[in-house]
Amino acid sequence: MKLNFQVGDVRIGSGDVFLIAGPCVIESEEHAIRMAEIIKGVTRALEFPFIFKVSYDKANRTSIRSFRGPGVKEGLRILKKIKDEVQIPVLTDVHEVADVAKVAEVADVLQIPAFLCRQTDLVVAAALSGRAVNIKKGQFVSPWDMRHAVEKCREAGNTQVFLTERGTSFGYNNLVVDMRSLPIMRKFAPVVFDATHSVQLPSAQVDEGSPAVSGGQPEFIPVLARAAVAAGVDGVFLEVHDNPKVAKSDGANALESTKLREVLKELLAVRRALDVAHATP
């Protein structure tokens, strides 16, 4: 059962490709608003449906010293301001059941982080909020087992659920994307492909005394995104930053904002080519 539904002016599961994009974490109010405006400008010019993503708290950072964000109270204030002033739907992570109700008052989509995709109480609480739910596929979970996460939402009475593929663990410090997972999961829910976390190199700095941070190979973001659209995904997820080198979280695998327009134009071209192929007898 693969349903389609509406989030703001974005139709999920309708056959059109949509974008989830934004910086990894709220670094400041000014930066988050600027990034929302930049991405909206690009997507509006290309008529590319768009949901803004940013996290108020990165609770699963590698190191205790890593920047986590402003926290739920200040983060939700900023998210509401973005939603109201920039006039775009917003998505953010939830890590705790206790936060779900207050986050649902602001966010249009509640996102279950990959490491928490099997946390039943959290998934069910998000579903019961009535908001759309994006469940990121854990790096340790098979695509067919994500059916159970979807069923948790639907058993709670919420059919507005979709899944995001972000790569599978391959050894200790690398991820691999199995494109077969995309059509497998699309049999039971709309699917988004996360092209930025999929090029992440988790805990890449392993020398003693070096900072515990993730690396990345952002040069492969366009390649994987094009492949995913060719495979028929419903949406693409991109962490976008105006200066990835100074980003406070996941800068090594983020897409530089100046490159967003060209990437999206390529994705639209792939999608149009598929439509032509499907329409040709």
Domains annotated on the chain, with CATH: 5-279 (3.20.20.70)
Cβ atoms of 118 and 138 closer than 8 Å: yes
Cβ atoms of 218 and 204 closer than 8 Å: no
107-164 residue pLDDT tens: 999 999 999 999 999 999 999 999 999 999 999 999 999 999 999 999 999 999 999 9
pTM for this model (two decimals): 0.94
**Residue 210 confidence (pLDDT):** 54
Cβ atoms of 66 and 29 closer than 8 Å: no
180-230 residue pLDDT tens: 999 999 999 999 999 999 998 876 554 555 555 678 889 999 999 999 999
Cβ atoms of 92 and 32 closer than 8 Å: no
What single string gives the DSSP state of each residue in 119-144?
-HHHHHHHHHTTSEEEEEPPTTS-TT
**Which contiguous run of DSSP H or E holds residue 236?**
strand 235-241
CA gap 257, 149 in Å, rounded: 33
